[in-house]
Amino acid sequence: MTVNPRREAMKVETIASGVSDNFFYAVVDPRGRAGLIDPVDAEAAVARVREAGWELEWVINTHWHPDHVAGNAGVLAAFPDAQVVGPAGDRERIDAQFAGDARGAVDVEMRGGESLRVGELSLDVLDTPGHTEGHVSLRYGKHLFSGDVIFSGGAGHCRAGGDVGVQFSTFAHVLGALPDDTIFYAGHDYTARNCEFILSIEPEHREAGAVLEQAKASGPRERFESTLGQERAYNPFLRLADPGLRQALSSRYGESLEAARAQSQSEDEAVFRCLRALRDRW
């Protein structure tokens, strides 16, 4: 783990899991040295690395959930010179899943403010807790590998070791500080379902309707690509101060909004909590 301000050309490849609805990612430097981010499908990951001829240096876990770390041991069995790097705050829960096979456990911890070298590349580590206590994301230029923090049209749930108030803070202070041209690479694609949720609250929301049509036109297991700037136009978790959204919640879900206010430090947080609770039940 070193800090290196240089930015070299990076190749990003999206790989669809065949064992779950996850997507995972390869980041590759110009010399073919690579890291795999959350490669839950070990068979697909190993096949792609071998086919491409990459030199695998890292298996990178953004958080502890099994659908992101279950492929660790299988990948390391094929590429024993690689190491697992994972968030310090989730390390114990990752390691516990590999009690019988230490190859899947974390070799190197990472924390926000550090960077991770993948060959000539230097990826910045961002603390992005909320979905889990120790969740991290990795940023390289305009590319953000965000795990399960944000999805197209939505946000990661907090039902398995997470905290909604902490997730709100991540959206407000971490994602909120990133530029509009930031491309994010999420662990799942729930675009259509998320847009249907938005339209259940705001039936006339044009951007959400347009994205829904695009998502429906996509092929099976094709990831919808978006930027934070695009999300700020329709994703409700990034539009907390939007008067139309607030009015819709107040008129349709007043009791839920009042309950959220009782737990919140601000109206923005109350809107976030209300949305999260509604989406969890929807």
Position of tokens 């919640």? 249
Residue whose pair of structure tokens reads 């839950």 in the numeric block: 40
Q: Enumerate the β-bridge partners of residue 154.
A: 151
Burial class of 53 by CB neighbour count within 10 A (0 to 12, 13 to 18, 19+) = exposed
Mapped onto helix, strand or coil, the DSSP state of residue 2 is: coil
Q: Where are the beta strands (DSSP E) in 29-128?
A: 33-37, 55-60, 83-87, 108-110, 115-118, 121-127
Identify the CA nearest to 75 among candidates 47, 117, 108, 52.
Answer: 47
Contact between 198 and 38 under an 8 Å Cβ cutoff? The reply is no
Element (H, E) at 281: helix 267-281
Q: Is 222 left (phi over 0), alpha (psi -120 to 50) or beta?
A: beta
Q: Round to whole Å and give the CA distance between 268 and 83.
A: 40
Residues at the binding site for Zn(2+) are 63, 65, 67-68, 131, 148, 188
CB 24 within 8 A of CB 41: yes
6-12 contacts at long range (C-beta below 8 A, 24 or more positions apart): 6/120, 6/122, 7/121, 7/122, 7/140, 7/141, 8/120, 8/121, 10/121, 10/140, 10/141, 10/143, 12/143, 12/185
Binding site feature residues? 63, 65, 67-68, 131, 148, 188
